[in-house]
Amino acid sequence: DIQLTQSPSFQSASVGDRVTITCRASQGISSYLAWYQQKPGKAPKLLIYAASTLQSGVPSRFSGSRSGTEFTLTISSLQPEDFATYYCQQVDSYPWTFGQGTKVDI
Amino acid sequence: EVLLVESGGGLVQSGRSLRLSCTASGFTFGDDAMSWFRQAPGKGLEWVGFIRSKGFGGTPEYAASVKGRFTISRDDSKSIAYLQMNSVKTADTAVYFCTRVFLDDSGGYYPFDWGQGTLVTVSS
């Protein structure tokens, strides 16, 4: 199985901060990676797919990039509604796997 | 508006069976793959399984943790996806989410519409 290692597990930040979350795959997954945002008690929301494509309706302050097997989610200017947990997921091969999550908190 | 509504969750004894349903509306259900995920209390997300659209064979894939016990099926005439859970274990306790999955131009399947989830609690 492909392992995804997310870092950090917890990120303390303030409104207006630039936040970067990293997801490293244990083997090559091309660009078959998605990023999700999840708020407590809610379903995850797709933010980015194919490593860098912004899902329709997602604010442009969110962006994704890839360098080899390392993927990055960047929030350029954190807004109050962005405090949540973020997950990366690979869809390159079965079983689909997730990173352990990054909680972005005040 | 796309809606995915899971139902069928509840309390079940270890070793018994349960069937979850995901009723879809707002899109042409038969055109899309569907997938199930779960999230144990206070834990991260886990993929359970996936079923392709009939146009791509309608075949399923499963996580190792549920293979042989869980079965995903679909009834395109009713716009419902099912998750049949047999021989459940306490480790299966989680909120179960169904998702609509799209196939992008590069051949990747991405879950992009999610239901609100249904809680399954397995007691010993």
In angstroms, rounded to a whole number, what is the distance separating the alpha carbons of residues B99 and B3? 10
Report the residue of B27, B47, B52, B70 to disrupt the A interface, i.e. the one with the largest count of A CBs within 10 Å: B47
Burial zone of B118 (CB within 10 Å; 0-12 exposed, 13-18 middle, 19+ buried): buried
pLDDT grade for B2, boundaries at 50, 70 and 90: very high
Structure tokens at A47: 């933010």
Smallest Cβ–Cβ distance between B112 and the set A1, A30, A46 belongs to A46
Of the candidates B111, B120, B119, which has an alpha carbon nearest to the alpha carbon of residue B2? B111
Reference A66, options A24, A103, A96; nearest CA is A24
The token pair that represents B32 in the structure block: 């899309």
> Does residue A87 come out as left (phi exceeding 0), alpha (psi in the -120 to 50 range) or beta?
beta
CA distance B117 to chain A (A): 7
The partner residue sitting opposite B104, judged by closest CB among A1, A49, A100, is A49
SS3 of B17, please? Answer: coil
Which residue is it, tokens 């207006």?
A16
Q: Judge: A43–B109 Cβ closer than 8 Å, yes or no.
A: no
Cβ of B50 and A44 within 8 Å?
A: no
Q: How confident is the model at residue A31 (pLDDT cuts 50, 70, 90)?
A: very high
pLDDT at B93: 98
Q: Which two tokens stand for residue A18?
A: 């630039």
Contact B110 A45 (CB under 8 A): no
Residue A106: pLDDT band with limits 50, 70, 90: confident
CA dist B113 and B94 (Å) reads 19
Residue A65 has a pLDDT of 98
Residue A102 has pLDDT above 90, yes or no: yes
State the Cα–Cα distance between residues A7 and B111, nearest whole angstrom.
23
Closest-CA residue of chain A to B117: A43
Q: Which of residues 66-95 of A touch B (CB under 8 A)?
A: 87, 89, 91-92, 94-95
Cβ contacts of residue B67 below 8 Å, gap of 6+?
Answer: none
